[in-house]
Amino acid sequence: MIKGRIFMDLSQNVTREKIIRATISFIEKYGIHSVTIRGIAKEADVNSAAINYYFRSKENLLEETLKLTIKNFQDDYYAIAQKQYQNPGELLQAILFYLLAGSTRYPGITKAHLYESFVNNDHTNFSSRLFKKLLNLLVDKISELDMEKDKNDIRMSVTQLISAVLMPSLFSGLFKDFVGLDLKDENAQKKYVSNLINHYYHVDKGLESWHPGPMDQ
C-alpha cells in the first residue's frame, strides 16, 4: 500500500510467510468463502500438514491473514491522515485515492474484511471495529481543518464519499461501462476521486504527482 506493505513484520519462517502470501492470492482469485486447507496448500505448494502445523486450523490462518492486512492498512491510513493539509479536500483526496487504489488492487481481501458485515450483518468483528475507528479519525481531522462545519454534516459527507469509492471499486464490472472509466487504471482513479471531491470541497492541489505506493505483496 503506501509503502508497499501487504506484509510488514512476518516471522522469519519462510514457509509460514509463503502460506500467508498464498492465502492472500487464493482469496483474490476465488474469494474468502472458497478457502480450504487443501486449496491453500496447493496455492502455496506445501502439504496440508504444514498449514495445520503453523496455523492449527483454517480459521486461525484466515484470522492471522486478515489481521496482518488490516494492520498494514491501518498504519498506511494513519500515515496519510497525519500529514499536513491546507484544507479538508486535500485530506479527503489523499485518503480516497488510497482507498480506491488499494481496493481495486486487492478487491478480494477488501471484500474479505467486509464479509461478516455484508453476509452476516455482524459489525462487531475486528475489521468492522477498526473501520469505524478510522472513520471517526477522519471526521476529527476534517473537523480540525474546517471548524465551522458541524460534525454530523461531516459524518454524512464522509459516509457518502467512502460509499462512492468502495462500491465501484469492489464491483468494477457493474460500473465500468456506465462510468466510462477503468478504475484499475491509476489515471482513471485520480480523475474519479478529483471529480468526486470537487462536489464537496474546492481543491487547488491535484493528484497528478500523488501515488499511493507500489502495494506489493
Q: How confident is the model over 163-204, as pLDDT tens digits? A: 999 999 988 888 888 888 899 999 999 999 999 999 998 776
Q: How far apart are CA 170 and CA 154, in angstroms?
A: 24
The cell numbers describing 213, all together, are 505506493
Q: Where are the domains of the chain?
A: 1-64, 83-209
Q: How far apart are CA 212 and CA 186, in angstroms?
A: 10
Could you confirm whether domain 1-64 is CATH 1.10.10.60? yes
Q: How far apart are CA 140 and CA 154, in angstroms?
A: 9
Task: Examine the pLDDT at 209 and tell me if it is beyond 70.
Answer: no
pTM metric for this prediction = 0.85
190 close to 207: Cβ distance less than 8 angstroms = yes
Name the DSSP class of 85: -
Condensed to tens digits (0 to 9), the pLDDT of residues 117-144 reads 989 999 999 999 999 999 999 999 999 9
Q: How far apart are CA 77 and CA 165, in angstroms?
A: 15
- The predicted model gives 93-117 an average pLDDT of 95
Condensed to tens digits (0 to 9), the pLDDT of residues 32-43 reads 999 999 999 999
Average pLDDT across the chain, whole number: 88
- Which residues does 192 contact at the CB level (< 8 Å), separation at least 6? 100, 168, 179, 181, 183
15: enclosing H helix or E strand: helix 14-30
The SS3 of residue 211 is coil
